[in-house]
Amino acid sequence: MDAADRELSFLAESVERTARVQRDAAATYLDSAPRHGVALARHLKGAYDALIAHVQGRRQEFEALPDSEAQQGALTEMRQLVSGARSLHESLSWLDAAAAPPLDLGTRYLVEQMARHLVAPNAEITVVTTTDRSYATVTNPLSQVFALAETEPSMDDALAIVIFVPRREQDSGLLHPLMIHELAHAATARHQLVDGVLDRGGSDPAIERALTEAAEADETSSEEEREAIIDTLRERLARWVEETVCDSVAAALLGPTYLYSFVAVVGTSDLDTAGEDHPSTRQRIRVLLEILDDLGWKETLAGTSEEIDSWCRVTAAKDVIDSDPAARFCANALAQLGDHVCAVVNEHVDDRRLSPDAFREVSDEIDDLLTTGIPPAQRFDDSPIDRAAIILGSWIFAMHEEGGGLAALATAPDVPQLSRLLPKALQSAELLEAWVREKNEAKVS
Amino acid sequence: MDMAFPGREHANPREASAAVNIASFAQDVVLALSRLLHRQAMTERDRRALNRCRALIERLDAREVTLRRPSERSLAADAKTVAVFRAARFARPHRDDLHQTMEVLDRALGGQLEESDLERLSELRETFLSVGRLNLQSMTKHESQDGATSGWTPLIASSLS
Angle between helices A178-191 and A105-118 (to 10 degrees): 30
| Nearest residue to A242 (alpha-carbon basis) of A182, A202, A193, A180 | A193
In this structure, the dihedral spanned by the alpha carbons of residues A151, A156, A157 and A163, taken in order and rounded to 10 degrees, is 110
Q: Which of A111-125, A144-158, A329-343 has the lowest mean pLDDT?
A: A144-158
Best A94, A133, A199, A236 member to test B by mutation, with max B CBs in 10 Å, is A133
pLDDT at A325: 87
Predicted confidence at residue B151, as pLDDT, reads: 35
Within 8 A by CB and 6+ apart from A422, the residues are: A106, A173, A174, A375, A390, A391, A394
Mean pLDDT across the stretch B72-92?
72
**Three-state secondary structure readout of A114-136:** HHHHHCCCCEEEEEEEECCCCCE
Answer whether residue A242 shows pLDDT above 90.
yes
H helix runs in B38-69, sequence order = 44-61
Residue B70: pLDDT over 50: no
pLDDT bucket at A151, cuts 50 / 70 / 90 = low
Q: Mean pLDDT, to the nearest integer, of A287-308? A: 97
Residues from chain B contacting residue A198 (CB–CB below 8 Å) = 67-68
Q: What is the pLDDT of residue B72?
A: 40
Q: Is B41 on the interface with A (CB under 8 A)?
A: no
b (16+ CB within 10 A) / e for A258-288: bbbbbbbbbbeeebeebbebbbbbbbbbbbb
Separation in Å, CA A249 to CA A115, A163, A181, A319: 12, 17, 7, 25
The answer to whether residues A285 and A312 touch, using CB atoms and an 8 Å cutoff, is yes
Residues A325-330, mean pLDDT to the nearest whole number:
91
Q: Cβ distance A318 to A282 under 8 Å? A: yes
- Kindly report the number of other CB atoms within 10 A of residue A220's CB atom: 5
- What is the per-residue pLDDT for A351? 81
Q: Is the pLDDT of residue B156 over 80?
A: no
Interface check for B34 against chain A (CB to CB < 8 A): the answer is: yes
Give the chain A residue whose CA is nearest to the CA of B130. Answer: A73
pLDDT number for residue A96: 96
Phi and psi at residue A137, in whole multiples of 5°?
Answer: -150, 160
pLDDT grade for B15, boundaries at 50, 70 and 90:
confident
Inter-chain contact B70–A199, Cβ cutoff 8 Å?
A: yes
Those of residues 288-347 in A touching chain B at CB distance below 8 A are 333
Higher pLDDT, A282 or A154: A282
State the pLDDT at residue A217.
Answer: 77
B100-120 per-position pLDDT tens digit: 999 999 999 999 999 999 999
Residue A394, pLDDT > 70, answer yes
Which range scores top for mean pLDDT: A6-10, A209-213, A318-322, B77-81? A6-10
Question: A66 vs B95: CB contact, 8 Å cut-off?
Answer: no
Please indicate whether, in this complex, the C-beta atoms of A266 and B14 are within 8 angstroms of each other: no
Helix (H, G, I), strand (E, B) or coil at B69: coil
Q: What is d(CA A17, CA A82) in angstroms, rounded to the nearest whole number?
A: 9
B118 part of contact set with chain A, CB < 8 Å: no
Q: What is the mean pLDDT of residues B33-62?
A: 92
Q: Number of C-alpha atoms within 13 angstroms, CB side, residue A140? A: 23
Q: What is the mean pLDDT of residues A88-113?
A: 94
Provide the pLDDT for residue B145.
55
pTM (predicted TM-score)? 0.88
Among the partner residues B8, B65, B149, nearest to A133 by beta-carbon distance: B8
- Pairs across A and B, CB distance < 8 A: 183
Question: What CA–CA distance (Å, rounded) separates A47 from A144?
Answer: 8
